[in-house]
Each structure stands twice: as C-alpha cells, then as structure tokens.
Structure 1
Amino acid sequence: MRRGGGGGGGHASSGNYRNPCLTMHQPWASLLVYGIKRVEGRSWPSPIRGRLWIHAAGKVPDEATIKAMEEFYREIYAVDGITDLKFPEHYPVSRLLGCVEVVGCLRREELASWEMVPEGVRLEALTDMCWLCEQPQKLLVPFEMRGYQGVYNLEKKIYEGAIRGLSPVNSPLPVKFPLPNPQDPFSLKPGSISVHVPVSRTSEVEISSSLTAAIAGARAAATQFSKKVQDAQTSVTTLPLKGQSVEEDTMPSANLSETSNKGALTSNNKEQISPIKHKGVGSHSQPYSGGLRPQPGAPSKLDVIFDLRLGHFNQRHYYKAA
C-alpha cells in the first residue's frame, strides 16, 4: 500500500482507535467498499487516517434509493469517460462489508475546486466535510454484526476474522489523493488545499441536464429517510439498557450516509466494541440480514423509536424474507 497498514489497521489513527469502524446505510456502504464511491460525507472531520472498516446498518434500502444512487454515480463517472460501471448485485444489511483507507479530509469547497483529482470526484463534494477514501477491500463473506454511532473500534475477535477474509477491489477509476506533505499522513486536512486553490473558484465540469437530475435524485434519496421520520404519527419511547448496543440507523446526508452526530467518539475500551456515549436508538427487533433487495409488496414491520439525544423520531423498516 502507498500508505501501508499496520497490524492493527488504524496505523495512522489519532486518539485510541485500534480497528476503527463506521456504520453506514445501504446502498452507500457497499458503493464505498466496491470503490465506486470515493468520498464519505459527514458534518464533522475524520478523526482517523488509515484503514476504516465499513459496516452496513440494518435498514434495508428500497429500489428507488438504489436506482437513484446508481444513476448518480453512472452520471459522474461519465464525466471522466467511464461508461461501464458494475454495481453490487446485492446490498446486504447488518454486515461488516470490508474497509477503505482514509487518506485525508477536506471541506466541500476545497474538494469541489481541487483540479488535481478527477472531475467526477469533485462532484461528490456534497457535504460539509469530505473524507477521502482509497484502496477499497471487501470481505469475501460479510460478517453479521451490530453497528454503533460515530467511529468505534471493532471487537478484537471480529477484526482477527475479518482481516483474513479481505479481497482487493478493482475500482472503476482508482484515485490517489496527493498529500501536501508526503511525510505527514494528516497533512491532507481542512484548510490544506485552500492555501493553494481559491475556494471561490467554481468547477469547470459541464453540468448537463441528466447530471443535474442525477445529483437532485441522489440528494432526494439521501433525505427520504428524514422525511419519513417527520411524517411518523406514532412513537414508542425506548430507553437503552445499560451496556446495550446502539444500531446506527440515523439519517444519511446529501452525499451518502451522514449521521446526525456532530462529533466523533475516541474509543479506548481495550478493543471491545464501544458505542458512542450518548443515549440513542435501542431496538429489540431483529432486522432481516439477507443480502437481497426488498421485493415489491414484501411484508414489513415498522419500528418507530424516539431518539432522546436527537429529539426526533427514528423510523426503521425491517423486511422479512418472502
């Protein structure tokens, strides 16, 4: 690897992250692990550099969301001359999918103006903070596990099993994000590109009507969960039990699977999985963990839970096998 990994995975991480992992919604999680998605959007800067494990949350994506995101990436890759994208056949949920290398983090305006990266990558700059990802690897057999809010450490046993099952991914357009200081893995940070690139400069990408529609569709797909939450008519107040895991199932951002977290947790619980220390969503329902896309008319169970920390309703759909 150009920025090689140590035995613990998070070799260049800050804080006490050993095997850092991030839970994301589908289809964004698989798109990242398959190397199609190269920028993970958040409202907060990346607390780590190096390997970041990617876990898919329990919410099964609907066909409209999958179609919108695949069309978005089809359009932005076409800007760089890539017209034959192979998307994942399935978008499994409640699974550890693989990992990527986080090599830097930039503000949206910086990435959108950075001419040293492909034009399509600049079009992925749709959130306040953009985590720049390289070298995707996927698990040959995704591991079933629960996720947590923020960045957390994988349990040691899960990490030891996962590291042996990784397979490199042939990305449709591999990207190398140049570091301002090759000797400093944290040099590609918010503000580092603004010194060299005027942030007011607009991208020279020609925005076609189909590209405009694809971007609008991606934004709509990322916010549809929020709209469902606001339309919820009933609620169940649930307090998480002491030591209970918290499934990360909050709203994605305009780019991918941004949580409504405004910060990150530094975990130091001796390589045990460490949920964020805020009261969040707890669920006693077991989501369907299959890798198949939901079929039209499939029976569903609605679980509406009040999130005490965020102050709004979280709505989660669990699909059963047909």
Structure 2
Amino acid sequence: MGSRNRGDVNYRNPCLTMHQPWASLLVYGIKRIEGRSWPAPITGRLWIHAASKIPEPETIKAMEDFYREIYAVNGITDLKFPEHYPVSRLLGFVEVVGCVTCDELVNWDQIPEGVRLEGQTKFCWLCEQPQKLIVPFEMRGFQGVYNLERKIYEAAIRGISPVVPPLPVKFPLPNPRDPFSLKPRSLASSPSSSGTSDVNNRSENLVAAIAGAQAAATQFSKNGNPPSNTVEVGDDSRTGNRYRRAQ
C-alpha cells in the first residue's frame, strides 16, 4: 500500500470519496469521527464526495440506529437524519482537526461519551464544523484523499451552507499553534475512569446498535471480514493508487 505521509502529496482542496450513508452523516454533523485503517494525511478542510453505490435500506437503518443510541448516551433523542442519501455527488466539507488511535479516543475524558463510542477503528479522524452544498452536484470520485479539480472547487465553494450539528464538538488541541499536534499517540494512553470501553456498562440497545453498525461496515472491507480490532464503522476505501477511480 502506498504511503500516506503528509509530505508526499501537495494537497489543494483535498477530497475524500465515501460510501453512503456515512458520507451524508458526516456532512450533516451527525458523524464526528471518520474511521480508517490509516492516519489522516491532512488537517483542515476536507471535501466529502459520495460514491456511486446506492446504500441498502438495511445499511441506512443500521447506521441511523447506531447514531440514535450513541447520541442518547448524551441525552439527545431527537436526531434529524438526512431525507436522502445521494450518490455520485459532492456533498460538502468538514474540518479535520486531528487524528488519534481508537484506544486514545475511547479514553479521552475531555470529549462527550457518545463521541468516544464512535471509536471503532484503528485510526479516528476528528471532524468539526460541517458545511453542506445547498445543491449537491454530480462528479466522479477517486479512492484515497485526492485534490478537487479547480473548476469543481470554484463552483462548489459558492454553494456552501453551514450546518448546525445536533451536538457540536470542539476537540482540544494539545498545542493550538501546531495543527498537527493532535496526532496518533499524542494523548495520554492511561485508561479512563468513565468505563466507556467496558461493554458490560452498555445497554442492550447500544450493544446491538454497535454490532449492527460494525456488520454494515464489513460489506465494504476488502475480504468482508476485517480483524475484530479494526472493524471499520466508517468507510475504508484505501488503495495503493491514490488516483484510482472510486466505484
């Protein structure tokens, strides 16, 4: 697999193609963590494009149930989900403020418990400040992180609208002057006293919702059965060729 060090590509208006419903959930601010098997190569604005695969109703239900349950942990029970999950469309962008490991996320007491419950992958990209296109427009995507074409960027930036997330989250940077200060293994790794990662402290509905989200995500893994410690609740469209067309 090709390396994804931040210095090997000159990112201008970087974009990530994701499967639905994960793409829309991220742009609507419901999803705060983008789960990957590789660390984020950037911080800052990341455009989100929806791949061409139409999501199964069962997949949408599994992910919506997952987010209902983890938001309920923080007392939010009136989530408004997207009415539609368009495919082959540029949807908007989020701000990636850092990347931590799953173990770091689930033990991070400074962020809401529901956010910590999204930590189901090896690396967790931390996303804030979502904005969506008023009218998503059609384009083809690529796998990995790639640069938007200039003409697409210039058209898209004029049609952006801020999103008010159901629970806005601000991830604290260890060093506010260094945008890369929040990176894997940058946080203390001692276990939290909150018991977030203890399955025995979770409700049956929450355990079932997490299992359903994990099962929904495995359909996009390379072999359909990723290792149990790196199950992708997000979408993992990794490839050694960053500019391969997304399906």
TM-score w.r.t. structure 2 length? 0.88
Say which of 218, 223, 227 aligns to 1:223.
218
Q: Write the distance in 2 (CA, Å) between the matches of 1:137 and 1:253.
A: 27
2:202 matched to 1:207?
A: yes
Q: Write the distance in 1 (CA, Å) between the matches of 2:72 and 2:102.
A: 21
Q: Which has the higher contact order (CA 8 A, sep 6+)?
A: 2
Residue 155 (structure 2) aligns with: 161
Q: Write the distance in 1 (CA, Å) between the matches of 2:81 and 2:210.
A: 18
Say which of 7, 10, 14 aligns to 1:16.
10
The question of whether the paired residues in 2 share the 8 Å contact of 1:28 and 1:257 is answered with: yes
**Partner amino acid for 1:217?**
G
**Partner amino acid for 2:153?**
Y
Q: 1:223: Cα distance to partner? A: 1.0
**Partner amino acid for 1:214?**
A
Q: 1:255: Cα distance to partner? A: 1.1
Q: Write the distance in 2 (CA, Å) between the matches of 1:253 and 1:128.
A: 8
Q: 1:204: Cα distance to partner? A: 2.3
Say which of 233, 236, 239 aligns to 1:258.
236
Residue 151 (structure 1) aligns with: 145
TM-score w.r.t. structure 1 length? 0.68
Question: Size of the alignment, in residue pairs?
Answer: 232
User: What root-mean-square deviation, in Å, do the aligned CA atoms of Structure 1 and Structure 2 show?
Assistant: 2.1
Q: Write the distance in 2 (CA, Å) between the matches of 1:226 and 1:42.
A: 11
Q: Write the distance in 2 (CA, Å) between the matches of 1:143 and 1:253.
A: 31
Residue 235 (structure 1) aligns with: none
Q: 1:143: Cα distance to partner? A: 1.3
The question of whether the paired residues in 1 share the 8 Å contact of 2:20 and 2:50 is answered with: yes
Residue 80 (structure 2) aligns with: 86
**Unaligned stretches of 5+ residues in structure 2:** 1-5, 225-229
Q: Write the distance in 2 (CA, Å) between the matches of 1:123 and 1:202.
A: 15
**Partner amino acid for 1:123?**
L
Q: Write the distance in 1 (CA, Å) between the matches of 2:207 and 2:124.
A: 20
Say which of 24, 38, 57 aligns to 1:63.
57
Determine which structure has more spread, i.e. the larger CA radius of gyration: 1
Specify the SS of the correspondent of 1:158: helix
Q: 1:148: Cα distance to partner? A: 0.3
Specify the SS of the correspondent of 1:52: strand
> Identity of paired residues, percent?
70
2:43 matched to 1:49?
A: yes
Q: What does 1:168-247 align with in structure 2 at a 5 Å threshold?
A: 168-194=162-188, 197-198=189-190, 200-201=191-192, 203-205=194-196, 206-226=201-221
Q: Write the distance in 2 (CA, Å) between the matches of 1:109 and 1:203.
A: 14
Question: For residues 163 and 120 of structure 1, do their structure 2 counterparts lie closer, same or farther at Cα, with a shift above 3 Å needed?
Answer: same
Q: What does 1:26-41 align with in structure 2 at a 5 Å threshold?
A: 26-41=20-35
Runs of 4+, deviation exceeding 4 Å: 200-203
Specify the SS of the correspondent of 2:219: helix
Residue 248 (structure 1) aligns with: none
Residues 139-175 of structure 1: per-residue CA shift (max 9 Å, x gap): 0010100010110000000000000100000100000
Residue 3 (structure 2) aligns with: none
Question: For residues 183 and 162 of structure 1, do their structure 2 counterparts lie closer, same or farther at Cα, with a shift above 3 Å needed?
Answer: same
The question of whether the paired residues in 1 share the 8 Å contact of 2:35 and 2:124 is answered with: yes
Q: 1:57: Cα distance to partner? A: 0.2
Q: Write the distance in 1 (CA, Å) between the matches of 2:21 and 2:177.
A: 35
Q: 1:203: Cα distance to partner? A: 4.6
**Partner amino acid for 1:212?**
V
